[in-house]
Structures are given as C-alpha cells and as structure tokens.
Amino acid sequence: MSRVTIAPEEDRLNAQIAFAIEIDKLKRVIRRNHLIDGSRRENSAEHSWYVGTLAMVLGEHAPPGTDLQRVVALLLVHDLVEIDAGDTFIYDPVEVAAQADAEKAAAERIFGLLPGDQGERLRELWEEFEARQTPEARFAKALDRFAPILANHHTEGGTWPLFKVKASQVREKVRIIEEGSPSLGAYALELVELSVARGHLSE
Amino acid sequence: MSRVTIAPEEDRLNAQIAFAIEIDKLKRVIRRNHLIDGSRRENSAEHSWYVGTLAMVLGEHAPPGTDLQRVVALLLVHDLVEIDAGDTFIYDPVEVAAQADAEKAAAERIFGLLPGDQGERLRELWEEFEARQTPEARFAKALDRFAPILANHHTEGGTWPLFKVKASQVREKVRIIEEGSPSLGAYALELVELSVARGHLSE
Ligand SMILES: [Ca+2]
C-alpha cells in the first residue's frame, strides 16, 4: 500500500488502512455453497454480510440475554483467516483437520497488520467464535451453519448431492444449530427432513 | 418460499425466513466500482460487509460518543433497497434524482416482508442512514464514500477515468466523509490529490 502520510501520529491510521486493503481479499475466497437462486458459488465476504444481517433478523431466536451486537461482530470477522487459509468444506474431515494450523498462522499475520490493541481485540473475536464457549459464539455459529442449509434446501439440495453429503451428516450439523438456538435448530431439521422427502438429500 | 410449519406461533419465524431468502438477492446487485485488486466489479452484499467491518476497524475516527454498533447495523441494511431499485452511481445526477421514489417503494416491499415491529425497526435504520442527521449515520455514510475512494486510488483511478469523473466531483464526496469523520476526510483528500498527481484522476 502507499503511505500517504509520514507524521508518526498517523501510523495508527496507516496500519488500519493496510488492514482494510488486505481484507478486501475476502471477496475472492469462494465457498462451496451456492446463492439461494443457484446462479453461482458464494464468496466469504458476502456470506459474512449475510450471516451478520441474519443475526439482526433472527436475534429473538437466541437465548435471552445474548448480546446480539457482539454476535454481529463475531460474524463480520469470523472468516477473515480464510484470506490465507481458504474456505474449509465442513463435510471433508481431512480438510477440517489440516485447517487449524493454517488458520492460526493466518490470524497471526492478518490481525497482526492492525495496531496491537486492536489486532488483539479482533483476534479475540475470531477465537471466541471458534471456541463456541459463549452464547454469542454459539448463536453466531448456529447462523453460520443455518445459512447453507437454507440455501441447499431452496436449490434442490445444492451442495448436498453435488458432494455426496448424507442426511446423517447434515443432521450432525443441525445439532450445532440447536446448541445456539433450539428454535432455529428445529426449523433446520424440518428443512432437512423435507429435503430428504423430496429426494434432494439421501439417507 | 416453502412454509415448513403451519402452527400460528411460527408465522413470525416464517416471515423472517421469507426476508432472509429475499435479501440473498443483494449478492447479485452489481456496483460500478471494482475490488481493490481490480479483478471484477463489486456486489452490494460484499460491499455492505466491507463497510460494516471498516466501522469496527476505523471506529476511533468517529466523533467521541458515536455508537459504533449502531453504525454497523446501519451499514448492514443500508443497501437492501437496491434489490429492487438497483445501485445508484453517485456521479450520475439523473440516476440519483430518479432513485428516491424507487428506493422508497423498495423499502416498503422488502422491510414489509418482516413481522411489523421488526420491519419498522430495520426500515428506520435505512431512513436514518439516508437522512444523515445522527453522528452514527454521518459516520456510516463517510465509510460508504471512503471505500470506493480507497479502491479507486489503489486501482490506478478505477471508475474515475472509466466514467470520466473529475477531481472536483470527488472532492465534493470527500466533504461528506469529512462531515462524518474529519480525520478520514483528510486522509481521503490526500488520496485524491495523490491520484491527481499520478494522472489517475483529472481536474
Ligand atoms: Ca449504494
């Protein structure tokens, strides 16, 4: 990036701008799943917008007391490590196992572009999301899992038949949704069973 | 959309899901400006993620007391009306004038998909953003204007030479940034002058 100023008090802004330029790359990380109209695969930036906005729309399905603004923050940063580490297909166990180290290194580099205090704070959001130990992280992860099920259900199975994903595997992911939101979990399970009944997802 | 449940108490969730399915379309609204690597034009969903995340990163450049979580919320919903009304190119006065009615009708329809109270709340966020009467809306709008200037500066002028935009027009947009954040306004002005000096933006 070009450093347009040299005054030391502006180093902080320059670091933030370097980060801003870097994270634009998330728009070029392509996920397995498709848009709901089936027209193309989704990228991780628009996915992050989608689930962040879902947090505002579906927030009443989180346990009482969940800090929804923190859920939004978790979701906006949750995929940034994919800029280096790529998207992980959650139904591929080999991919999932190899991913942890790559994502840790990515977090080091990408959040490291920010001023120290700020990089630390954003990195903590990412770690909180991954750990799923808070109601906020569990609800955020639930939305992250809910969105592809919604899209697949509305695109005749979408990535399920394409990657030979079985109903039992999807039901396992539904459990993660239930942990964050019982009502969204129940809804997701209905979508799964309907998809099975329609022949878009096999047992 | 398919209504997977019929119990009346689940009508609320069904309305929220109908909205969720509808707003996926924002991923197919294509803006004039390009990604920072110049590889393709940006869509309004990934743009909304980008500026929402910038609010978290550049928040300290908002006036003291600005509610940054509200800024994020404003930015996540600010472009939803484009699903019906399309993106407006801010340097085309004819387009800008024609847009207001179309966006109002779009807001009516799209936010109207939600349960009444919730649709009202999200619509108010969009109206607040557009009116720029609060520090939150002014800062949100500043980020919305800042992002394309950053991208154009880093893609040899990007949409500026492409659509014959003049430096004086961009300096006018910089004033909107200044109103939301004096320091980001000053930074944007430096980018503009640098772009002029490099021959990527003409007087
Ligand atoms: Ca716009």
Q: What is the mean pLDDT of residues B102-120?
A: 96
Q: Which pLDDT belongs to residue B1?
A: 46
Q: Name which of A8-12, B4-8, B30-34 the model is least confident about.
A: B4-8
Start-end of H helices in chain A? 11-23, 44-57, 68-77, 82-85, 93-111, 116-131, 135-153, 159-162, 167-180, 182-197
For B141-158, what is each residue's pLDDT tens digit? 999 999 999 999 999 999
pLDDT reading at B31 higher than 60: yes
pLDDT reading at A2 higher than 70: no
For A126-147, what is each residue's pLDDT tens digit? 999 999 999 999 999 999 999 9
For B66-75, what is each residue's pLDDT tens digit? 999 999 999 9
Question: Chain B residue with minimal CA distance to A119?
Answer: B57
The class (CATH top level) of B10-197 is mainly alpha
Question: Chain A residue with minimal CA distance to B78?
Answer: A53
Q: What is the mean pLDDT of residues B8-37?
A: 92
B117 touches chain A (CB under 8 A): no
Confidence class of residue B8 from pLDDT cuts 50, 70 and 90? very low
Confidence class of residue A4 from pLDDT cuts 50, 70 and 90? low
pLDDT reading at B91 higher than 90: no
Run of H or E residues at B43: strand B41-43
Å from A92 to nearest chain B CA? 26
The full set of domain ranges for chain B reads: 10-197
A100 touches chain B (CB under 8 A): no
Tell the CATH superfamily of the A8-197 domain: Hypothetical protein af1432 (1.10.3210.10)
pLDDT reading at B5 higher than 80: no
Contact A202, A170 (CB under 8 A): no
User: Distance, CA B79 to ligand 1 centroid (Å)?
Assistant: 6
Q: Which pLDDT belongs to residue A96?
A: 76
How far from chain centre, in Å, is Cα A119? 19
pLDDT reading at A18 higher than 60: yes
For A162-188, what is each residue's pLDDT tens digit? 889 999 999 999 999 999 999 999 999
Contact A13, B150 (CB under 8 A): no
Measured CA to CA in angstroms, residue B33 lies from A29, A184, B91, B127 at distances of: 19, 37, 12, 24
Query: What does the block give as tokens for B158?
Result: 């990007």
Measured CA to CA in angstroms, residue A7 lies from A4, A118, B187 at distances of: 10, 20, 12
Partner residue opposite A43 with nearest CB, options B21, B46, B114 = B46
